[in-house]
Amino acid sequence: MAPMENPLKQIHSIMNDENAVLIYSGEFNQEIVKSMLNYTEGKLESSGIDDLVRKKIFNVMVEQLQNITKHQYTDDEKSVVQPCFVLIEQENYYNLVTGNPIHVDTIQMVSDRINQVNSLNADELKDLYKQARLNSRISEVGGAGLGFIDVARKTENKLDFGFYDIDSANYKYFTLKTQINKIIE
């Protein structure tokens, strides 16, 4: 499930990559998410990117960023490791990477959900999304529980994820990497 390389080292090496479109580490809230989206849209527009790819990046980025905003923990361990987001341009695709501390009690649920999504083809994902939306109730933090399914559908790629030890008894660091191809079929 989790590759052994230290994620913070990985993120550090990504941060030094000249192809990074946006790197952020710190507090997440709706205002910060909006600023990140505005900045990224502007930067991508001026890069001459295909409109449809830009839209897909926007879609997937919203889900990944709001996922962190809604599921940040609020207890006193929050100084351990900050959440982060990185958008990086590769030759044939873009990667969107998020990292955030996650309570050990929720790891199994998150892991099961992503593994389920990764095991399905496009038609199966469509059916799961429709069914899950019908049954969904907006949670206390404002989520519909559809984010992973939507991201898998929009990117048409598998979700890459891991959980890493950090200096905490109750939290691990959850990373999620998605890939958006530059050529949409």
Partner 1 sequence: MEHLVIAKTDDTPEIDFNPGTKEMKISGRSLPEDVTTFYAPVLEWLDELEETPSGAYKFIVNLEYFNTASSKLILDILMRLEDIHTGGNNTIEIIWNYDKRDTDMEEAAEEYSELVEVPFQIVGI
Q: Is 131 in the site for partner 1 (CB under 8 A)?
A: no
CA 55/CA 41 separation, integer angstroms:
9
Beta carbon of residue 142, minimum distance to partner 1 (angstroms, whole number)? 5
Q: Smaller CB distance to partner 1: residue 25 or 59?
A: 59
Residue 41 burial (C-beta neighbours within 10 Å; 0-12, 13-18, 19+): middle
Beta carbon of residue 8, minimum distance to partner 1 (angstroms, whole number)? 28
Q: Smaller CB distance to partner 1: residue 2 or 146?
A: 146
Q: Is 52 in the site for partner 1 (CB under 8 A)?
A: yes
Q: Smaller CB distance to partner 1: residue 12 or 126?
A: 126
* Touching partner 1, residues 56-85 (CB under 8 A): 56, 58-59, 62-63, 66, 69
Q: Is 89 in the site for partner 1 (CB under 8 A)?
A: no
Could you say which of 12, 43, 126, 182 contacts partner 1 (CB under 8 A)?
Answer: 126
* Touching partner 1, residues 18-47 (CB under 8 A): 30, 34, 37-38
CA 6/CA 65 separation, integer angstroms:
22
Q: Is 183 in the site for partner 1 (CB under 8 A)?
A: no
Interacting residue ranges for partner 1, rule: CB under 8 A: 30, 34, 37-38, 51-52, 55-56, 58-59, 62-63, 66, 69, 126, 129-130, 133-134, 136, 138, 142-144, 146-147, 150, 154
